[in-house]
């Protein structure tokens, strides 16, 4: 499912404008592998879900190729098939669990 269909943020004019600025700033090269590929993506370094105040912050955005974007999203738990990770307390157990 395209991002625009799932989240109206990505269809907003503010996002489209900031996205163009980031792609221009980064010369459309991937920040990780330095490749230039079709359909470059603009990635939130700190996830928008946890840091909504940084959604349009240029310092929190980078250009990634589709391959690196997919790996970055999966490693941070942002892929569609990934379940939210629990917050771990100082004792090593998930907070708000029967073990805490």
Domain that holds residue 22: 3-75
User: Based on the structure, what is the number of domains in the chain?
Assistant: 1
Q: What is the pTM of this model?
A: 0.68
Q: Tell me if 30 is assigned to some domain.
A: yes
Q: Tell me if 62 is assigned to some domain.
A: yes
Q: In the beta sheet, which residues pair with residue 61?
A: 44
Q: Tell me if 61 is assigned to some domain.
A: yes
Q: Tell me if 52 is assigned to some domain.
A: yes
**Which is nearest to 49 in space by CA: 79, 26, 13?**
79
Alpha helices in the chain (DSSP H): 3-6, 13-25, 66-75
pLDDT of residue 55: 96
Q: Tell me if 87 is assigned to some domain.
A: no
Q: Kindly report, residue by residue over 47-100, the tens digit of the pLDDT.
A: 999 999 999 999 999 999 999 998 887 666 554 444 445 666 677 666 665 554
């Amino acid at each position: 499912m395209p991002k625009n269909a799932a989240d109206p943020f990505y269809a907003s004019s503010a996002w489209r404008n900031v996205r163009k600025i980031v792609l221009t700033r980064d010369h459309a090269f991937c920040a990780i592998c330095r490749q230039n590929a079709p359909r470059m993506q603009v990635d939130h370094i700190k996830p928008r879900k946890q840091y909504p105040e940084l959604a349009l912050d240029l310092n929190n955005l980078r250009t990634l190729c589709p391959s690196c974007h997919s790996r970055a999203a999966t490693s941070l738990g942002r892929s569609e098939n990934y379940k939210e990770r629990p917050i771990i307390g100082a004792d090593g157990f998930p907070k708000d669990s029967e073990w805490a």
